[in-house]
């Protein structure tokens, strides 16, 4: 599958991020906000707003502790750590990026992750840096996600 050129990807990310920001502002409860934070963090990253992506990902992970039995808990653990790992990798902190990949892989799962599998963006980016061992370790640990 071909990917959109970088400028088109960022443009789409910015549009989506604006919509998620509106959803966050209009959230009627903390749990409603919890449901939106993961997508907001991912789209902020795609839009190039690294500071907001980091803020939302950290808030998502902090909120996750309150919702340990919520269906979205596994998504929060996974996506919050993926976003933070991508930020670490982009800033050149390979060790921290690998730790976030491990944490993302420790998710208990969710209806979405169990159906569609994990977000592999950070794993792909680490493979591009020749970090095969960590990716094999994490994907091997998560046999429930294998096809």
Interval 67-124: pLDDT, tens: 999 999 999 999 999 999 999 999 999 999 999 999 999 999 999 999 998 999 999 9
pLDDT at position 146 is 45
CA distance 110 to 108: 7
The structure tokens listed for 48 are 């190039």
CA distance 123 to 8: 23
CA distance 116 to 134: 22
pLDDT at position 96 is 98
CATH code matching the domain that covers 6-145, chosen among 1.25.40, 3.30.420, 3.40.50, 1.10.3470:
1.25.40
CA distance 147 to 133: 20
Per residue in 129-145, pLDDT tens? Answer: 999 999 988 888 655 55
User: What's the rounded mean pLDDT across residues 25-54?
Assistant: 94
CA distance 81 to 104: 5
Name which residue leads in pLDDT, 42 or 144: 42
Per residue in 91-104, pLDDT tens? Answer: 999 999 999 999 99
Highest mean pLDDT among 7-11, 19-23, 115-119: 115-119
Name which residue leads in pLDDT, 11 or 120: 120
* Interacting residues of 85 by C-beta distance below 8 A, sequence separation 6+: 96, 97, 98, 99, 100, 101, 104, 122
Coil vs helix vs strand at 97: helix
At residue 147, does pLDDT exceed 60? no
The structure tokens listed for 44 are 């902020």
pLDDT at position 5 is 76
Max intra-chain CA distance, the chain: 44
Whether this prediction's pTM lies above 0.75 is answered by: yes
At residue 1, does pLDDT exceed 50? no
């Amino acid at each position: 599958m071909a990917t959109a050129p970088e400028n088109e990807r960022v443009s789409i990310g910015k549009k989506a991020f604006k919509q998620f920001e509106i959803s966050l502002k209009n959230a009627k409860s903390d749990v409603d906000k919890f449901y939106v934070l993961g997508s907001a963090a991912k789209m902020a990253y795609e839009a190039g707003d690294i500071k907001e992506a980091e803020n939302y990902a950290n808030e998502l992970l902090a909120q996750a502790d309150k919702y340990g039995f919520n269906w979205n808990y596994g998504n929060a653990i996974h996506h919050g750590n993926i976003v933070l790992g991508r930020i670490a990798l982009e800033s050149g902190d390979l060790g921290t990026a690998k730790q976030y990949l491990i944490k993302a892989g420790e998710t208990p799962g969710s209806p979405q992750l169990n159906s569609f599998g994990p977000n592999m963006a950070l794993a792909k980016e680490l493979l591009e840096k020749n970090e095969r061992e960590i990716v094999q370790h994490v994907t091997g640990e998560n046999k429930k996600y294998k096809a």
